[in-house]
Structure 1
């Protein structure tokens, strides 16, 4: 088994930075840079303080404007309620009078008595009129405050209600009269203004006698009186309340503004309709903010001045710090250089004096144990990173170290981190010698040997969690009516994920409307649950994968149309949570990539002796050529042509060694799987070139045949080369381990095009050996992970090869070759799919994309 790889340099510091990003970033800076940044902190604080003060002033002013606006809105709404309540009460009390006027026995005298009694306590009512269906007034009662001067009312027809307004075409009163006659409901007219600027509006109540319109009861209101009497006193003291028409012109206001009185501040306004009239009149509340602006605030400018003074002082301090930084630059550079050397070591280092007191620890040691340098320096045993249950054992190991009897191979101990986590470590001890040659203590190096085990444990725990999630998954089932869009049925998982409405069903369908579907007569339906009783087959379902963003889950959704219990056409969805499966697929891809690199490393490790022997030949030739040239040059017995020829031979041998190293390096180099155009000829040549070292060592010959005009493959050539190399190496090992004679010590590698019924057009790679074959009971387990017939095999070679081929949409198979009942060999073959159009194009162009590599067997031996 390969040794456990050491953690990469800086891995512990990276973990610390991820856990504490700011402190890790700060410690990573140089001292001079830390000083520079430290001087910027007060400057940033002052600027942030100034920004906070400006924001506070701005926020308080906005809050004041919001509060004032809300107060104006409340006052306008309160006034709206007061006036609206008054109008509603008046309208309700006028209903009996209108009912009496609609009867045949109504008289003007009775109407005048009722009108006088009604308007006695209502100062906002100017006059009440009884108008017939022909718009001619039958009786008019005018309020006491408004003298009935005929001459004046004839000169001002706009103030004569209702006679002049009712006869005027398109007038406000005439339009209201038409509305009351049409709707048979009380109607408010629009506002009209007399010559002196007083605003009025009317309420016209229809008189209905047995469904026949007989006239109207017209009530004229004074807008000024309404506003003066029904605006609360506290509201009038706080804000100005006005009545504006539909054009925004102010008709009446609680405050009279002078024509030239224009303020410098923008007013705050809130409008509310005059209810229940809704005749275009609006109640407008108006106010002004009381505080000054941000620029006019004295306190604000004082804060700005103090902040500027502080910034100036900080700049002076910063210049002083820069002067000190230049003085300390040399010392800092030297310290940083030595500290960088110490921190770059991935191995934990610990120094102790002769009494066992710790005098030094490096950063890697602190990262391994979790304790800081201050917590460890000066400590005597027992040390804080010793597990409580292993104090005596670690004490014995320490005594062996102090006595110089520690084994050279190191001591394996248990180490406990500060957070209580225990891991395995190996310690190596060496004496610490000062410049005078005297021993002053002991230096101990510590390496964490549990990293690989920890990774395996994490992968195992992750796999267990993934299995638990899969076993606990429940499918969501929902049935939706196609015509009405009504959710007919949901199960517990659907309600848990999406609630009880149909929006979850729409999310699972991707927002697409159900397609047209005619249910068959065989759709049998369970009358109790509403679910179909027959099995959902492939024909009856349409699977799709849907991502629900609100749940951050992927669902495998299968839909089917069915006939509901009441005969309606319905769509049923079965959604299974496949989020864990998607995560597992990503993780499996990552593990497969790591396994591919590991397999190549294992393969090259097994071929290490052969590679060393292969490199020894060109290196020995180079040494001999160089020694011969040196001897002849010293003796003066070599000509220039002989020297050039010798140097050329030396260069060819060096190039040969470089090519071997380059091929091995390209093969074991870890890279992302990349699909790219590749030629079968080149893949075979590279694989045979690498395998030739092992074949020559085992004295096994190889015959290769590559058909001509093969189409270009779309694959990762390194992975396919890895599969071929693994198959060739396995065949050579089988032949060599069986001790077969020379007549059977050969392998046939063939690459030919094929057409398979299930796969279509493919290129078949086959490796055939004359070895002892494979046992029947082993054939069924060849591709199982970690199953191997070799004593030292890992059991990942063929399993990985099959995964690589299947990832390229190919197939891999193995079979024994028989002569009668005797096994005379074994054949491994795999296929890679190709594009038939590309194949015809290559054949038509006449390009030779493949050829016979070697018609005769090539024998290689060590």
Structure 2
């Protein structure tokens, strides 16, 4: 059997004579090779064309991206230029009013404060006279103390003095060239000259935040599309972000490793301030294109199929040669079999034995062929049994699974064997006798006896366990195995096994037997080997019938009959659960005691807070009595006074109600709670203490925060404790009134790819010493002489009981400690992540 040459297969196609002559001169092997190479070359050319097309489209796409970046950067530059010109015009108006003697130092400070509050990028405005002395100055609160200029201060030498001289010489506004420093991004300065009756009268110095100029000057839609940054004249980043270079190994084009960017100077500053935008990578490129890989894969598969077809043609010739040796191979295989084969005719005479049969019994083929019962390999004591078995074989009463017998060797030794009998049918379909296969099972029998003994030892160990062990098939009420403790607890039925499985939530309850198979067994059709290798499930349940707490562990396994079964191991943990309940009760008592201690420490503040509404009520009542006695009050005035008295009484009642709800002892109750409500309740309690200590309170709560599954009273307790500690730290540091502040921020975050809500309390106190930081959460350790040392330890316990974490850190202004920050986060219940709104409320107390 051979293939026709390709020239004969395509004889209907007109072929030139010289080509046909050359083709016929080639050998069949070469013709097959050429026939395979031609389609393969066509596939490679097609792939090269597709790659070239993708390359060209990528170049076009890069040009479009470059034009878009250039257009957006120029638009952002115009927006920043207009913003700078507007601030410059405002400063020039102030300078003109100062030159006209319409603005003094006090009014300048007021106008500067209004301008800084309205435009966040402006950090400080300073009035400098012609002698380089500061007449008046106002700085934003965010500006660090070393950068703030005070009244009467002489202008510091350096770049500011240089720009001052340049503005004096040019008599027009002059911008400084910002330079990135080692610790900060620097400031952009604008010097606006003052004229005093035609003479130079000093300058108005406006200082801008480079970061604020970028944040409020660049449109939000451009900041969202690009990585926008402000650079100095040497290309160093002053503010903003940069896109890291792409990995050239993943790019088909060599120059595609660099991000698409464009730079332009910011007018009117000049080349000293450059705005740069870098486009984020939005596409996967040529290499990441699915269509590119699809075409490449199809081309590779086509080439592989062509090569496989050629190789298959060559294998067909080899198969023909292999068929010729099949008969000899079968005979050799038969002689090399380890299973003994014996053929009997219809009368029970031996007609054939193979080499393995002779080797097992020790008798030669000549000694066995032609023999009739009794056969020489029958033991004398088993001859009657073997004769009856042979009679059943000849009459067609065979056993499908075979039967076990003893066989005697020629040397008289015995061995165990298993015989399988089947009819011997010739090529015409007629039965000519019986074929018997014999296998030596001496070693399997020994192993089976050892396994039986091992099973007995294993069963003895399970019976002595102090844990209940039970096994039942899925979807059935049959109990496959139960040890002694299980039978003692639940008897010999599967009800206890099923009750533990259902109560622990490890599987659905069994369905009635008349339901379809797919409803009975949820694992039908799945590979059982994957299920049995899965990790076990753990659960703790309470069984009322036993009055015990049980730790239940479950896993799936293949039973000896092939069915998928579930093993349940139950351990008595009643004593451990009782100990845990006692510990939880002690923790709840500690929390309640901490709240009582907190309110005891705040007693004077609460009394002062209650004194105001009570005093107002007394004054209103005394005034009413006096005017009623003198009959000098109308009904409208009396109603107005009574209404004010009622509101003051309600205010006092609300203060008492908040204190009662805070200190009353209750069981922990975790419910979906609103974060804003928790913060509001905590602030109302803490603000009493903060006002008494003359500490300013500000808080920020992000909009549309998700609900938390917490006990709101416990979270309020943590917040009140942290706010009180912050106020005490500020008072202890003896900060000036302008720096006596505490800030509370509540924002959503991602911690280990999990959505959480973070609560952070920041104060302007003296911070924590290193030795205090190491023992901060240690029980009964306190830095206050009257402190008990359980506040922070209890706060951390409350946070960790809600699966959260707490941490503390000092805030530094250079080498100086500027305050301390306590923060903790609580995970968001469910899978929804926090949503950050566009607007958020900030209030200052």
TM-score by length of 2: 0.36
TM-score by length of 1: 0.36
Q: Which has the higher contact order (CA 8 A, sep 6+)?
A: 1
Higher Cα Rg: structure 1 or 2?
1
